[in-house]
Amino acid sequence: MRKPFTQTKGRNSDRANRLPLRFLFTAFSLSAALTSFGAEANLSEEVRLLREQNTLLQKQLTQQGSALDALTKKVKDLETAAKTSDNATDENGVPTKSGFNLGKVNISAEGGVAFFNTGSDGFAPHSEFRVDEARIFLEAPIWDDVYFFSSIDLATRENTGLSTQLGELYLDFENVSQLWGKDGQLNVRAGRINIPFGEEYLTRYAMENPLISHSVADFWGIDPGVELYGRLGKFSYVAAVQNGGVSGVQDFNGDKSVTARLSYDPNPHWHFSVSGMRTGNLDAKQDYLSAVWFGNGWFRSVGSTNTTAFHVNAVQGDVIARWHSGYVGLAGGYLRYDDNDSAANNQRGAYFYSAEVVQQLPKKFFVATRFSEIITDQGLPIVGLGNFDDYFFGDLTKELWRWSFGVGYRFSDRLMLKTEYSREQGQGVGSSRAAENFFGTEAAFKF
């Protein structure tokens, strides 16, 4: 009779045993689900963090790329500026001076050491070594587009006493044309400036001149005044109002010198210009000499002691044709001298011209030749390669020609060696000129 009871009790015991198992399975399943949910939640969080880190890295890479681009541009700008500084030219096409930067001040120098020999009537009849040129240049920014420039002449061919002299010194007001929104149309210089007549003065220094000598006419000079210059498309211009007399500190006549040059460059191979100049009336007793240099001397009065004022007007044209390894340059003009001599009519004219050819050769060699001449009807003080006292204060010259031939070697744009032979002959008012031939060799440098 107890068996059924016993059987019933056994079933209840099995159910009781299965309840913990179900609970454990359910707990395990729930735990697994919770674990899976937590894993999924952690994975989503990690993905979100990775995405944020990736976005941050992309931003950093973009910023670094921009910084690298800016740095690359700055380096290129610096390289371009360095190259521009080495090869830059001013408004007249003259290479600007390289040098050393001391803060805001740039210091550079240029010169030449030479050996000269001439015939018995020349300026160096006894074969001499000399410092042909020595110049120091100072440049500094003043404010915005205003710059200071000065040259100090320690030695020049004309300064045989080797006394230190002031060359150019001016303030350069660049880009005045920005007042109406244009670059380079108008610039202004004020101080001691070159007389902008012709173009030979632009390449007169030893490093720029392919020969050692210059043309017979050799127009150049430095005079206090004001100069305007600029460029309008293929045209460029320069105009100056200056004192006119040789004194660098005082003007003895209120009539000013006026000089202007207009240039046209249709393409890189051709260059044309025309220049005009009037010295203004110069005081024959106090100015005595013109500021402009002519024929290795100056213009002076050729009248009697009754002369109180004299002046010279001149015009010149220049043409240059260039090719990849050389050029040919032609220049020619006419000048007219007059004074107020009450005892005689001293008015006279003179024609002058020159032709120059320069050809680069392999291995940094080059050759150059120049023929030049002055022809005047009644005679002017033209020194040429002759003795200064004999031909400036003595016999007037009616005709003088010079044929120069030179060979050079350019080590770099800072060092050049050149040799020249020139044959010079002419006719004075009272005698011929035939003993002034020139031989020279020179090492020119700049830094």
Cα angle 323, 324, 330 (rounded to 5 degrees) comes to 30
Query: Which amino acid, 337?
Result: Y
Q: Where are the beta strands (DSSP E) in 67-221?
A: 100-102, 105-118, 128-143, 146-155, 165-173, 187-194
| pLDDT score at 332 | 98
Q: Which of 149, 318, 141 is nearest to 217 (CA)?
A: 318
Residues 6 or more apart whose Cβ sits within 8 Å of residue 435: 119, 120, 121, 122
| pLDDT score at 102 | 61
- CA 7 → CA 11, 12, 18, 20, 225, distances in Å? 7, 9, 17, 21, 137
Question: What pTM does this model have?
Answer: 0.77
Which tokens belong to 306? 């009754």
State the burial class of residue 378 (Cβ atoms within 10 Å of its Cβ: 0-12, 13-18, 19+). Answer: middle
| pLDDT score at 242 | 97
pLDDT in 10s for each residue of the chain, 447 residues: 333 333 333 434 444 444 444 444 444 444 444 445 454 555 566 656 666 666 666 666 566 566 556 655 555 555 554 444 444 445 444 445 455 556 689 999 999 999 999 999 999 999 999 999 999 999 999 999 999 999 999 999 988 777 899 999 999 999 999 999 999 999 999 999 999 999 999 999 999 999 999 999 999 999 999 999 999 999 999 999 999 999 878 889 999 999 999 999 999 999 999 999 999 999 999 999 999 999 999 999 999 999 999 999 999 999 999 999 999 999 999 999 999 999 999 999 999 999 999 999 999 999 999 999 999 999 999 999 999 999 999 899 999 999 999 999 999 999 999 999 999 999 999 889 999 999 999 999 999
* DSSP string of 257-278, one letter each residue: EEEEEEEEEEETTEEEEEEEEE
Parallel, antiparallel or unpaired: strands 270-278 and 397-412: unpaired
| pLDDT score at 18 | 43
| Residue 256 β-bridge partners | none
For residues 347 and 311, give the distance between their C-alpha atoms in angstroms, rounded to a whole number. 10
